[in-house]
Amino acid sequence: MSKASKKGSMPHRSSLHRNEDEYFARREADLIRQQREAARNERLAAERRAHFMKCPACGYDLIRGEWEHLILDQCPHCHGVWIDAAQAHRLIEHHGNAVGWILQSVMRGVAGLRTGTS
């Protein structure tokens, strides 16, 4: 057999290496992408944990209280009051003058916090 016939019957060694290199490069790229995604998800989860029940205005811990059957989160430092969408909807449904009611309730709550008689 001549060299030409042997060369034609077997795949060229460099093409085998190239296919193997491509496979491992794709596999490594997938692993790196998965690791980056896992690290990103962990950073986001840690950020959510760090901000849970923290005042968005000043960063102090929020306290949760109930006023007129509504759950409100209040900051004892800046006296900000935070409600979720469901509580806001409930507030609007049950109280015609919601803004006035909120302000009166908050001021009563803040005054109670300051004197310790909430």
Q: What pLDDT does 36 receive?
A: 97
Contacts of 95 (CB under 8 A, 6+ apart): 101
Q: Mind listing the pLDDT tens digit for each residue in 10-66?
A: 556 677 778 888 999 999 999 999 999 999 999 999 887 877 888 888 889 999 888
CA distances from 80 to 40, 61, 89 (A): 31, 11, 19
Domain ranges of the chain: 3-51, 63-115
Q: Are 64 and 83 in contact (CB under 8 A)?
A: no
Does residue 100 or residue 68 have the better pLDDT? Answer: 68
CA distances from 71 to 5, 19, 67, 97 (A): 84, 62, 7, 18
* Residue 68 scores a pLDDT above 50: yes
Q: What pLDDT does 11 receive?
A: 56
Residue type for position 109: G
**Rounded-to-integer distance, Cα 34 and Cα 36, Å:** 5
Displacement of CA 31 from its chain's centroid (Å)? 24
Q: Mind listing the pLDDT tens digit for each residue in 77-89?
A: 998 888 887 787 7
Q: What is the pTM of this model?
A: 0.45
* Residue 110 scores a pLDDT above 90: no
